[in-house]
Chain A
Amino acid sequence: MLRWSLRRVGAGVALVWLVATVTFLLVSVAPGDFASRLNDPRISPAARLRWRRQFGLDRPLPLRYASWLATAATGDLGTSWTYKQKVTTVLAEVLPNTLLLTSLGLALEFVGGVALAIVQLRRPHGTGDRLITLATLTAYALPAFGVALGLIALLSYRLQLFPPSHMLSLDGEMAHGGARLLDLARHLVLPVTAIGVTGVGAVARYLRGSLLDERREQYVLAARARGCSQRQALVRHALPNALLPLITMMGMSLPFLVSGSLVIEVVFSWPGMGQVMFTAALSRDLPLLLGGTIVATVAVVVGNFLADVAYAVADPRVRV
């Protein structure tokens, strides 16, 4: 177990290094750099040259890489060129916002998917099953921004039930305690629903398929023979086994959990990782871009690790 863990940690560190290095190279060879955007006739062209010197962008690539790696290896991700703050500070500001939004979105996706699959399995191939399949697949096929805008148009502007954007209202930002929490909850409804609605179809579809398979297994038949109702056999016996592949799916969703959804964040003016990373990419803010990539990669590594552990816990046949 210890050796396995060490091996996994080693592989994880190597992966983080590899992804960060590839990102460094890709951003460096992409046309343009942080000084490119100073192309305003109001700014002297000399300022552009000066900036390239200041940020070391005029140094050869291997040198830049070596100095970045030397700093990053000590755990120092540097200072964001745009925000003039430690990369860790910038990320620490937005990461919780993203985690809040995406974890609730994913939770809705999984809970909703499981519930729908169970409802569908009451009468497979019946009208309800077909309608739910049609609805969830349609939602899955819809672009996230379309769903988001539709939700805003209907629930916010027409029915005026929920606020259309931001994490907090102006009053909410000034409030404390319960009032603030309530305001936050109201602002979460639409973006979480947008994530949930578009993802629920995949989970429901996946689970429905694997439940249909499990239903025919002998242990389900045995459960029925022991006097379990159809529903008990399905929920107590078949469901835990059918859920196993979903653990992998959840593990694979972790990067989304951390890196966020740019579309949802932009449409709902949500201050998260997606927006920050997108802006960093456009402005070629290399330290911030690398910092964000490293955090997301670590999330993937940890996610995979946790998925493996969860598998081992859930399925006694798997030994790590």
Chain B
Amino acid sequence: MREDRRTLVAVVIIAASLGWSSCRRPPDRVREEQPREGARPGGQVIVASLADVTTFNEYQSTGELGEAETIDLLFPLLMTEQPDYQLHPPSFAPRLATSWEFSSDNHTLTFHLRPDARWSDGVPVTAEDVRFTFLAQKDPRVGSLGMEMKDFIKDVEVVDPHTVRFNFTRVYPYQLMDANDGHIVPAHAWGKVPFDKWRATDFEKIVVTAGPFRLAAHTPQQTIILERDPGYWGSPRPYLDRLVLRVVPEMASQLAQLIAGEVNVVQAVSPQEADRVKANRDLNLVEFPSRMWGMVGWNNRRPMFADRRVRRALSLGINRKSLVDTVFRGHAELGSGPVLSTMWAHNENLPQIPYDPAQAAQLLAQAGWRDIDGDGILERDGKPFAFDLFYPASNTLRRQMALLIQADLARLGVRVRPVQMEFTSLIARTEAGDFDATIWVWVDATKVDLTSVWSTPSPSQGSNNFIGYSNPDVDRLNAAAREEPDYTRAKVLLDRIQELIVADQPATFLYEARLLVATSRQLRGADINAAGLFFNVDEWYWGS
């Protein structure tokens, strides 16, 4: 199987060297059905989960923690997105679709489906299911979270039971990704429920799946038992007989249960516990870059943060390296800009802002902030430089960050008042622009589009640019980059956008988190990466 991985990497590198458009070609079959040497089938893996699944219907989901990963084990996607986004926009491997091709004008995308695919009740998975899924995704009565992903897909046609055609209204770089977004759901079972009833339907009662595992039992707030579906048509088939998700809502308890052998996998180990896990001979710690990154968002609409010299001074005045090392104990990277350093679109030449309190003080003085009354706090127009820094209650890491930032900025004569806040309230205040500064975390998509977070907010469309950053050049370049079908040309635009944003410092980029997953040492074959915990669950097995 290692060989196969190498083949996969080779395919990916060739694809990358041929350019973005070549990613549209169907890649070779990279996962073949040959048993891994020494792997014994059977057994179960118990995974600790912080929360229960509230629904098994993706289009009802409110995006609860871990829900998407469970749904991914039960329902098929047309293709599997590969975790190769550090090289180029992600490529895809076959899943329900064996191959796909674009029409010459790129307005039509045709998928050829596996003829042997079956739902867990034996009914074939067909093009009709793909079309039904699309109708559900687009229907406002269903209210799917990803509805906007389908904005440029006009319709989905059934050509024959195993061929389905997506018609686009326009050509753009992420057509393949948008077509693939969302798992295929069973038309024959769920089509009986009218769309306007979906929001109040318990789909668990009529669940029909088509994944490597099927739902065996669900005890609310306790356990989800998935068992290998013997009728699964994909390959390779899982070695494990059962995959159990055990709800343990408290992180410390999760680790204690892992050590006691009650569970086999803990999905998020805190950096403080990493050494303890490493020291334990029965456990294995997997560490990899996540797509989660943190920043201090300065409310750019507030007069005190409107001047970019001030924002730059604040970034220079925070000892970010020391902060990241202290809080994450070496399990996070220093952030540098709005695109993760692990993404293909990251600008390698971005300058890293150093810790330089002297230059920070100079910039603040230039912006008119001086300590006139000698109380140690800077003033301008008679007002002291003092503000509230919000962070979510119950998050100890961010609390530590807030305190370190407070101490660093106090040395510059800036008075920071860390304010902890209940999470939903924090979001609401931030969304409404009713804040000074906030420690904020984003989890990025593999689709690089900086519009929603960094383009000037539009009240009618909604925006994730809570900090109110506005730079017309960034707006223009963002609009151009999201339309550019060639990713190498898009990269040029994205590089420039990153330079502009870093120069403006609308936020202080703090860190890029690494994820720590702990597993029992005897669990073998697991390739856990940013594509998800269960990325290669079919290759997990128990060592002797």
* Chain A residues near B (Cβ < 8 Å): 30-34, 36-51, 54, 79, 81-86, 89, 93-94, 152, 156-157, 163-168, 170, 173-174, 266-267, 269, 271, 275-276, 279, 282-284
Contact = CB atoms under 8 A, between A and B. Distances in A.
Given A33-B428, A82-B54, A39 B464 contact: yes
A47 B200 contact: no
B284 interface: no
B367 interface: no
A41 B442 contact: yes
Given A38-B63, A275-B249, A282-B423, A173 B221 contact: no
Interface stretch (B27-35, B97-105, B146-154): B146-154
B112 to A, nearest CB: 28
Contacts of B203: 84
A47 B424 contact: no
A82 B423 CA distance: 17
A280 B128 CA distance: 37
A9 B518 CA distance: 55
B253 interface: yes
Contacts of B225: 170, 173
Given A84-B202, A94-B221, A37 B427 contact: yes
B143 interface: yes
Contact of A46 (B60, B148, B246): B148
B470 interface: no
B222 A38 contact: no
Given A30-B425, A173-B217, A165 B200 contact: no
Given A46-B462, A276-B221, A283-B62, 8 more contacts: A36-B431, A47-B462, A79-B200, A84-B55, A173-B223, A173-B225, A275-B221, A284-B424
Which among B57, B148, B203, B462 has the highest number of chain A CB atoms within 10 Å?
Answer: B462
A41 B464 contact: yes
Contacts of A163: 262
Contacts of B428: 31-33, 36
Nearest to B425: A31
B395 interface: no
A157 B444 contact: no
Contacts of A39: 427, 431, 464
A49 B458 CA distance: 12
Contacts of B221: 94, 269, 271, 275-276
A276 B221 CA distance: 9
Contact of A37 (B57, B63, B244): B63
B60 A84 contact: yes
B56 to A, nearest CB: 10
B63 A49 contact: no
Contacts of A51: 143
Interface residues of B, number: 60
B10 interface: no
B222 A167 contact: yes
Interface string B186-225: 0000000000000111110000000000000101111101
A255 to B, nearest CB: 21
Contact of B143 (A54, A85, A269): A54
28 contacts: A31-B424, A31-B429, A31-B432, A32-B427, A38-B63, A39-B464, A40-B442, A41-B452, A42-B443, A43-B63, A44-B147, A45-B452, A45-B461, A47-B147, A50-B140, A54-B199, A81-B62, A84-B200, A93-B220, A168-B222, A170-B225, A170-B246, A173-B222, A266-B250, A269-B221, A269-B222, A269-B250, A279-B51
A267 B222 contact: no
A94 B222 contact: no
B249 A44 contact: no
Contacts of A48: 462
B480 to A, nearest CB: 19
B136 interface: no
Nearest to B252: A149
Interface in B248-271: 248-250, 253, 256-257, 259-260, 262
